[in-house]
Structure 1
Amino acid sequence: MTEVVLDLAVRDLTDADLAACGFAGSDLHLKQVARQLDRARDGEVDYLAVCTKTDLPVAIGGVDYVPHPGAGSLWQLAVHPALQSCGIGTVLIGAAEQRILARGLDRAEISVELSNPRAQALYERLGYVAYGEQLEAWDQQNPDGSITRYETTCAQLRKELRGGH
């Protein structure tokens, strides 16, 4: 077996990165990410990119400081499918937690669809604890370009962060 080592860096996602982020979702989703970058410029969110040595994003995700006072809410986490299960999601979440701590907060929140047990298992391995469930909904783009409303039940998880302040 050959081992491949990726040299990764985490930085803020930029508008210029969006063209390389098709792995994260549809055109509609990337337009929504672009709107979140406006919120990042206003200081309401952090939006991160995990990049390879070539500075291309292989994972992206945000921390929203508005929904849960006193906490950062991780959301829109995506890792390039070809690189899943390589620890990149763990790098992204760790960097997001550091951003939360840097704002003087000590709690992280995350929602995960009940139909995504793999992601929930990752979050739980990283110390997140489920405390409830909630119905969530958003618009999604279909292959034919039409938009439909998607509804799903999500587990709510949180983690108490230590250190950093």
Structure 2
Amino acid sequence: MLTAVTTALDSEDAALIVPVRVRDLLPRDLPACSWSGSGTHLRQVERELVRVAAGEVDYLAVCTPMDLPVAIGGIDYQVREKAGTLWQLAVLPALQSRGLGTLLIRAAEQRIRNHGLRRAELAVEEDNPRARALYERLGYVAYGREPDAWDEEGPDGVIRRHETMCVLMHRDL
């Protein structure tokens, strides 16, 4: 899949169009994905990539012509019966609101269909209205809430438990 991302520059008349493509995320990509989270997060992503070979998950990357990931996200086929669950979706902060998240989600939905499933699900933190608005624009509907928690590494290197409440959303494909 090849598409282009348009980014406005300082001048109102200037735009930069960069072609991107979606492919599988590979272990060799992880050093270039430090923007997506802490070292703890990247180690978790590395563990999830092991599950790809078993067909339990897919992990995608939206890449620039230099093959650098600028958006990543996973699909877990083990969370809910008859659904692919999108998770760990992230876009390089400097390129947010440029269509990369939409491209990533649409590619993930196609993977779910290719897996023989007709439902996509995800959880979004209640305090992330921007992400929730994107999911709603893409046709996802809230159907419940549940708590979530994970370990995250702070800038001081200390690992703390992050606890949050998430809105559960789904979309029929």
TM score, norm. by length of structure 2? 0.92
Counterpart for residue 24 of structure 1 = 36
Which of 59, 75, 86 is the aligned partner of 1:47? 59
Q: CA RMSD in A?
A: 0.6
Distance 2:161 2:149 in 1: 7
Distance 2:47 2:16 in 1: 35
Deviations 1:130-153 (A, max 9, x none): 001111111111111111111100
Q: Mapping of 1:135-146 within 5 angstroms?
A: 135-146=147-158
Distance 2:145 2:16 in 1: 38
Q: Does 1:6 align with 2:24?
A: no
Deviations 1:79-124 (A, max 9, x none): 0000000000000000000000001100000000000000000000
Counterpart for residue 88 of structure 2 = 76
Moved over 6 A (4+): none
Q: Alpha-carbon deviation of 1:5?
A: 1.5
Identity %: 60
**Structure 1, gaps ≥5 residues long:** none
SS in 2 for 1:124: helix
**Structure 2, gaps ≥5 residues long:** 1-11
Q: Mapping of 1:1-165 within 5 angstroms?
A: 1=12, 2-161=14-173
Distance 2:53 2:45 in 1: 13
SS in 2 for 1:54: coil
Q: Alpha-carbon deviation of 1:3?
A: 2.1
Identify the structure with the greater strand proportion: 2
